[in-house]
Every structure is written in structure tokens, then in C-alpha cells.
Structure 1
Amino acid sequence: MYEEIFELINKGEINKAQEQIEKISDDDPKKYNLKGLIHFNKKELEKAKEQFEEGLKINPIDSDILFNYGYLLKEMNQEMESWRYLMRIHDKDWATYDLLGDIEFKDRSKLASLRFYLKAAELTNNPQMKKKFLEIRNKIKKDTKIAFLCLPVLDNFLKDIVETFSLGYDVKLVVSTDANEITQAIKWADIVWLEWANDLAIFATNKVPEIANKKVICRLHSYEVFTDMPEKINWGNIDQLIFVANSMKIIFHKLHPNLDLQSCKEEIVYNGVDLDKFKFSIHKPGYNLAVLAHINYKKNPAEWIQIISKLKEIDKQYKLHIGGDFQDPRYKVYFEHIKKEMKMEDNFILHGWINEVEKFLEDKNYIISTSIHEGHPYNILESMARGIKPVILNYSGSKEQWPNELIYNTIDEAVEKVTEETYDSESYRRFIEDNYTLEEQINALETVLNTLEKVNKKINKRVPKIRKTYF
């Protein structure tokens, strides 16, 4: 039936098409998609918008409606709203990525737009799309060489950034403890990116003389601020210090009040989630809770068993699924003991480290964050992007980062937030779309680099001679 109606619309036999559409059930979203298309063809854009919105109320992830609605919004010059709905399409075709690239290029980040144009080019044999990608890439690509430096195991937060910047810059990623490899990368680069203000930053800024003539960015995440490592970094060789949250900047200066950053500028760039990897779907109140974390004292793991214990008293169907590795074996011993003592074997489930986070979250209703401290945690970002309700302990900085109605102080409050009726998948996703997308992060970082490239090179400073060091 649907194909026949499309054919009637294409032939211009609108009255016949409308007669067939009225035969479709009112709870079928395709009915409103077809009505919207008819209004769109008649240039009745507001009426088309109303029909598409009705269809999305029934099925918020209907690909056809999302594409048509997104295309309509673009025609109505509501381009970032168009971007929002096009990004919600689960299986995007090349035309969708092309539209996303156009919107991104015009309204936000030219660099981030290349991600979409590349995906479009890879999904089609259309030579014009491939030509478009190459022409835009050649137009905005810079000869600037960027070396991203990071110690092993700590590069998870860097991968999407490196992948994107490699489209517009000459990029080298070095994940290593080898002093010679790090030194050679610094010599090669115009811009040096030091991921984490840790041992690598200490080595690079003190032991590699050539870094004095480079433009240098250091990104501080979280744990470094509670150590003496910032005190050992030669800040005279760093031009830009990036914090992942305002709270981290405040804590940094509070704990290191006498630190002389010299001419180093400070910037806050929040983390961003790739919405292509974390697909939105409607989640509802239910019985499956999740934790995603390295299991250590900072994550406050003992509180997990307390929360699920109280929930089990309300309803035995509640289960807490733990995705994470034990960084402190004491917690492994404790969990194995307490599960038996409290008869929680069926309610407290240890899954080990999770590689496919999106798949793990598919059937979850809540993400629980009991951390006593966070920088800007991806487990909450990614869960909200999927439409899952987070329940977040009130750590320092949490109220600046998340909707306050999702934050709790006590275990009883956490249980209340799980059992209450309030649940709004669309608003959780929208919050991420409005604040913490990968594209917004890339745009902010691109601005930092553009500003940095305009800064005059530093005068050579005397630093100790390099010696082969492993750390």
C-alpha cells in the first residue's frame, strides 16, 4: 500500500493518495509521514511539520520521518534542529551524512563536517560525493603538523579527536613510554598535544629542548590534579592548558595555589560524545540498572550494593549490572562475599570490562554514578545519549554539568529517583545534543588551535640536555 501511495504522490494524484492514506490506522507513524510529504509538496511547510511531529510521537526513531522532518527543518532554516533529528537516524545513508556535513560546515565546525562528508563518500559510488569530500578537504586542510602524545592505556579519550583532526591536519599519534619516540615526535611537530598533565608532560617539558620552540597544548582530565605532577611540569613550555570541566580548573588552582603557569592560557573544553555510536531509543522505567566504571575507591563501589539492596526490598526484579574491571582486588573479595551474605547473586551481576558499551546499554533503564569525584564522565554522557536516565551522586561540579533533578545526596534519594515515575528519554538525549556532542567539542578545540597558531613562537629556553629515559 505504501508504495502505491508514494507512486500516486509522485504522479501528482494527490486526492487519490489522500484517500488511500485515510485508510491507514491512526497509530501507524507512516500515515503521518505520508501526510507530511503531501503538505511538503504543496509548499505547506508548517502543516507538513505538524504531521511529521505527530508521527515522531508514535515512533521517535522512524528513519523515514526523521529524514523527512530533518530535511524540512533545513528548508525552514532551522538547521541545528535539522541536525538534531538527522543524527537520530540509526542507519544513515550517504545522503543523510551529506546533509549533516552541509549543516555542520555552514553552522559550526568545518573540520567536524569532514567526518560526515567522508562517511557519505564511503557509502556511495557516486563520484560527485567523493569529489565533494576531496574538494572541501583540500580547501580547509592545513599544512600544520600536530603530534598527539599519550602514555599507554590512557588514550581512550583521544581517539575521536585524533581521527577528526587527521582529516584537516598532518597528524601523528604516539602512545608510548619510549623517550626517543616521544622526542622525535616533538621535533617533527608544529603543535604538540600532551594528553594528561602527568609523567609524559613532565618529561616532554623538561627533558626535550626542542619543545621550547613548539606550540604546546596540555589537557588535564582529573587524577593528575590530586598529585604533585603539575608542580613538576615546566609550564613555561606550555601555551595552552585545557580542562575538561570548570570544576577541575577550580580544584587545580585550589590544590596548587602557588603554581606559576607563566604565559600559559587556560581553557575549558567539555568532553563530547559521538552520537553516531550511541543511538537514541526510547527507554522507560524498569528494573535494569547499570554501572560502567573502573572499580576503584573513587567510584564509591560499596554504595552499589546498598542501592540495589534497598531496591530489592521494594521489588525483587531489580538488578544491578556492573560493567568494569577491578583496579583494587579488595572490592572483588568484598563483592564475592557480600553477594552471598545478602543473597544478592541474582540481583548484583558482575560482567567484567565492557568493550561494546552501546550494546551493553541496550536493555538498561538507568545508569548509576556513585563517584565521589569526576572530571566529565563518559558513562553518563553515553547513557544519556542513548536515552537512559542517569542517577548521579552529588560530586563537586556535578550541578554545573547535569540537570539537577538527576542528582542525589543520599542512598534513599537515589532509590527514590529510580522508583519515581519521572522518566523522559527524549530530554536526556536532547541535553547531550545541546551541550556535549563530539562536534561541539571539535569546534571548541579547533578554536583553541586557531588561536594558538596566531601566537608568536616562544623564545628558546634553556632546559637540561635530553637523556634516554623510560617512564
Structure 2
Amino acid sequence: MMGDKKLQKAIENFECGNYNAALKQLNTIIKDDLHNEKAHYYLCLIYHHLKKWSRCKKCAFSFLKTFGKRGDILTLLGDVYLFEGNYRKAMKSYRSAVKYCSSSKEKEELQEKIQKVQVLFDEKKSQPRLAVIVNEGGDNFTDELIEHLSETYWIRKFIIRSFKTSLLNTFLKAKTKGFLSDRFFQFATRVLGSELKKIMSWADVTWCEWANALAAVCSYIKPRGKKLFIRLHRYEAFTDIPFVINWKNVDGLVFVSKFMEEILEMRGLKLDGVNWKVIYNGIDVGKFQFKPRQKGYNIAWVAHIIPRKNLFMALEIIRKLVNVDSNYKLHVAGDFPDPEYEIFIKNAIKNMQLEENVILYGWVDDVNAFLEDKNYILSTSLHEGHPYNLIEAMARGIKPVIYNFYNASELFEEKFLFNTTDEAVQKILDDEYDSEYYRHYIEQKGWTLEHQAREFDGFIKELLDS
């Protein structure tokens, strides 16, 4: 009975649009009852509503494997394939769903959907083909762009499984350490990169999201007459991968900030002859609706909780704020990939007597909803490329308080930056607060999804015309 009440509460939260609470409740239910079919269904449905396509796909596959075929799940899976540009699989999934639908209305709706996809499929055949290659779990920044660019291109999104990416990484590390001869390395890339080559052969232009092992292999096996570009975010610039990439075979490189190119140069990699361009990240400003705010006590911190994000500095800041006023609270939206660091942070919270002032939410899928009642967005990261968490919060009218990481001034005004924890505290205590200015700042900079999509479209067209 208790489990039924929890599930009903989760469903109520879903129906009210409180997706974060519903997801947390559903995951707890599934942890306690792995075979709760209804909980699995709603988990899949929420990810569909949030357009978290990869998670929706993973949940749908898990559901079908555990509980067998169901029309509604097959329909959701068909929608995922539709987004991924795999129209044949989308129609196949919808046709399969028809067999498991009980009502004639549902069957009619699916038949109409199949017909519309067929028409779309026929239209797409005449458009330029763009393949998006991304490693499993690495597609957080692709989907909204794909949705916008799909009006102009036939885009297919290909997610490469983690085990294959890890295998490629192993070979690349062996190459950088000098353990593999050039001849054997080229042989290995041809064998291990057969799937990637097939993808690139289909496309007119291939976009490798992240300058990682997948991008490196693609740079060696690109078919003649095809175009390849890579988007480098941040962490890749501090690895050996850029030194292994065959840049002579890469037609374009996209940075999310100018200083990432400078870091590669500082590390000794000259990009002479490489067609590179800075395209800043952009958000859907319609989704992150502006809300006038003022000084308050709720401070948001949004990121994976890893040492580079430097949550401990945020704890020091909140400790100082609590000494001024015990109403201040630090709301942390993020997961702990490292159990050792989780123990460290939770122990620090206890030792600093911050249990009542630091709230750990775990990973949050609906950041927009999480930011609803926040007054500040705090960033303590040691380094960033072009952080979405800050852009999203500023678009909502939230005051940013940002650690002055290397070349942060390229992105943010000095008044948003701090160098010491005392400076951060002062910025939060200051009376200066201008929600409209924070929103306008994002729009003026062109950090919108619409502008970003236009920049990508222009860049891709240049590659096609070259």
C-alpha cells in the first residue's frame, strides 16, 4: 500500500509538471521494486516530455526487455528514432505499436503518424546529410541544436557505445605513449573505426561532438569527398587527443570560447591551416523564461560534483554567509561521480555545521524548474569553456557570482567575477541586483539557441560549398 501511495504521488507530480520531484520518487520506487512496471513507464514518459531523448531510449529498451512489448512504449521509442533521423526505424516502431494498441483511435493516430513520417522521409532525401557522432552520455549539448538544424538538413544522430569508445581510447593512449607503430595504428583505426566510416560514408558532413577518441579515429578514416568538423568544448584541450588528431583531414573545428584555442597553443599545438571558428553556446530563451527577482537567501550551484567544480569553495562561501545570516541556503544540483569525493564533501558539510544550510538534490533533469525560486547562481569552477548553468540562470534573471577562472573575462563582466571567498560573499550581500540586466546580457551576447543555430548553419554551408 505504501508503495502505491508513493507511485500515486509521483504520478501527481508528473501531471503537475513537477518533473524533478517525480523523477526522484520514481527512481526510489524502482530501486526498492525493480519490477514496478508502472514506475518504469512513467520514468520513460517524463524523459520524453523533457526531450531527454537518450534517456528515454534507454528506459524504453529496458522496459521492453523486462516487461515485453507495449504499444505506448513502442510509440515513445518511435519518437526517439524520429528525432534521431532514423525514419525507417521510427515507422517500424510505430507499426509494431499498432499491433499492441487496444483502441481503434490509437491505431488511427499511429497510422496517421506513419504516413507523416513517410512524407518527411521522402522530403529529407533531397536535403544535405549531416551525421552527428557522440559518445554515450556525451549528448547533453546537441539535441536542441539538432532540432533547429533539422529544418535544413537530414540529420542522423549516432551514439557510440561506451565500451567501443573506451577501446578506442586505449589504442590512442598506446599511440601517444609510443607503444604502437604508425602502421599498426592505422590498421587498428580502420578495423575499430568501421562503424564510424560507415556513418561518414552516409553523410555529406560529419559533426563529431567532443574532440575525443571518436573524433581522432574519424580524422584518419574520413572517406574521400566527405566533410568532417569537430566541436571542442573544454576538457579535451587538456588531454593528448588533440595532438593525435589528423588535422590535415579535418575540414573544420568549432570552439565554444576563444581561450580554448589559446590553451591548445599554450600547450604547443599550432592549428595553422585549420578552419576554426568560435561559436558560443546558446539556450532557448523561450524555455528559460525571465522572472524579475531581488536579493534573497537562495543560492544555486549546478554541476557534476567533481573536484574541478570546486564545491568546497562554495561551502566556505556559504559558511561565511551563515555567520552573517542563518537564512542563507546553498542548493546543490548535481551528482557525485566519485564516491571518495562524495565522502569528502558530506564530511565537510558536517564539520562546518552546514547540514541545515546546504541541500543536496542529486542530479536534476529540469534545471529550469530548479531555478524557479533562486536568487543567485554561484560558480566556483576552476575552469570552464562556456558554462550553460550560468547562461540559463542569467536568462531567468538570476544574479551570477562567478569565480574568476582563466580568461573568464572573455565571457563575463568584471562585476560578475570574484577572486576570493570574501569577494563572493560581498557580491551576494551587496544591494546591487538587476534581473533585467542579466537577461539582457545573455541576449546581447547572442548566447541564444537561435543565434547559435544560425552560426552552425552558416559554418556547415561553408563546408558544403568548399
| Superposition TM-score, scaled by structure 2 size | 0.65
Letter in 2 for 1:243: F
Match of 2:427 in 1: 417
Q: Say whether residues 1:205 and 2:219 are aligned partners.
A: yes
Letter in 1 for 2:198: Q
Q: Say whether residues 1:184 and 2:195 are aligned partners.
A: no
Q: Say whether residues 1:340 and 2:324 are aligned partners.
A: no
Match of 2:207 in 1: 193
Question: Counterparts of 1:421 and 1:432 in 2: how far apart (Å)?
Answer: 22
Match of 1:166 in 2: 150
CA contact (8 A) 1:141 1:168 kept: no
CA contact (8 A) 1:191 1:215 kept: yes
The SS at the match of 2:282 is coil
Question: Counterparts of 2:408 and 2:139 in 1: how far apart (Å)?
Answer: 24
Q: 2:458 aligns with which of 442, 447, 459?
A: 447
| Superposition TM-score, scaled by structure 1 size | 0.64
CA contact (8 A) 1:308 1:318 kept: yes
Question: Counterparts of 2:138 and 2:305 in 1: how far apart (Å)?
Answer: 16
Match of 1:390 in 2: 400
Q: Which runs of 5+ in 1 are unaligned?
A: 1-137, 456-471
Change (3 A) 1:141 1:373: farther
- Deviation, 1:209, is 4.7
Change (3 A) 1:209 1:433: closer
Question: Counterparts of 1:141 and 1:369 in 2: how far apart (Å)?
Answer: 45
Q: Say whether residues 1:256 and 2:306 are aligned partners.
A: no
Question: Counterparts of 1:256 and 1:157 in 2: how far apart (Å)?
Answer: 28
Question: Counterparts of 1:248 and 1:263 in 2: how far apart (Å)?
Answer: 17
CA deviation vs aligned residue, 1:184-210 (integer Å, no higher than 9, x gap): 21110000111111010111112x252
Task: After TM superposition, list the pairs within 5 Å mapping 1:272-311 onto structure 2.
Answer: 272-311=282-321
- Deviation, 1:140, is 12
Question: Counterparts of 2:413 and 2:284 in 1: how far apart (Å)?
Answer: 20
Match of 1:438 in 2: 449
Q: 2:389 aligns with which of 379, 382, 390?
A: 379
Match of 1:328 in 2: 338
CA contact (8 A) 1:324 1:353 kept: yes
Match of 1:23 in 2: none
CA deviation vs aligned residue, 1:252-307 (integer Å, no higher than 9, x gap): 111133x4x46421101000011122111011110000100011111112101100
The SS at the match of 1:213 is coil
CA deviation vs aligned residue, 1:331-360 (integer Å, no higher than 9, x gap): 211222222222211101111001110110
Letter in 2 for 1:450: K
- Deviation, 1:146, is 0.6
- Deviation, 1:182, is 2.6
CA contact (8 A) 1:292 1:322 kept: yes
Letter in 1 for 2:356: D
Question: Counterparts of 1:181 and 1:382 in 2: how far apart (Å)?
Answer: 36
Structure with larger Rg: 1
The SS at the match of 2:156 is strand
Question: Counterparts of 1:309 and 1:420 in 2: how far apart (Å)?
Answer: 17
CA deviation vs aligned residue, 1:342-394 (integer Å, no higher than 9, x gap): 22111011110011101100000001000110000000000001000010000
Q: Which runs of 5+ in 2 are unaligned?
A: 1-121, 165-192
CA contact (8 A) 2:222 2:249 kept: no
Letter in 1 for 2:312: A
Change (3 A) 1:304 1:450: same
The SS at the match of 2:198 is helix
Q: Say whether residues 1:146 and 2:130 are aligned partners.
A: yes
Task: After TM superposition, list the pairs within 5 Å mapping 1:14-163 onto structure 2.
Answer: 143-163=127-147
The SS at the match of 1:350 is strand
- Matched residue pairs, number? 314
CA contact (8 A) 2:200 2:222 kept: no
CA contact (8 A) 2:285 2:449 kept: yes
The SS at the match of 1:168 is coil
Runs of 4+ in 1 over 4 A off after TM superposition: 138-142
Match of 1:231 in 2: 243
CA contact (8 A) 2:283 2:449 kept: yes
The SS at the match of 2:237 is helix
The SS at the match of 1:368 is strand
Q: 2:324 aligns with which of 314, 322, 325?
A: 314
Question: Counterparts of 1:399 and 1:140 in 2: how far apart (Å)?
Answer: 42
Which is further off, 157-166 or 179-188?
179-188
Percent identity of equivalent pairs: 42
Question: Counterparts of 1:400 and 1:387 in 2: how far apart (Å)?
Answer: 21
CA contact (8 A) 1:239 1:263 kept: no
CA deviation vs aligned residue, 1:132-167 (integer Å, no higher than 9, x gap): xxxxxx999972111011111111111111111111
Match of 1:18 in 2: none
Task: After TM superposition, list the pairs within 5 Å mapping 1:332-371 onto structure 2.
Answer: 332-371=342-381
CA contact (8 A) 1:217 1:242 kept: yes
Question: Counterparts of 2:346 and 2:277 in 1: how far apart (Å)?
Answer: 44
Question: Counterparts of 1:262 and 1:192 in 2: how far apart (Å)?
Answer: 22
* Higher relative contact order (CA closer than 8 Å, sequence separation 6+): 1
CA deviation vs aligned residue, 1:188-242 (integer Å, no higher than 9, x gap): 0000111111010111112x252x4211111100000001000111111111111
Letter in 2 for 1:448: F
Letter in 1 for 2:455: A
The SS at the match of 1:252 is helix
- Deviation, 1:400, is 1.2
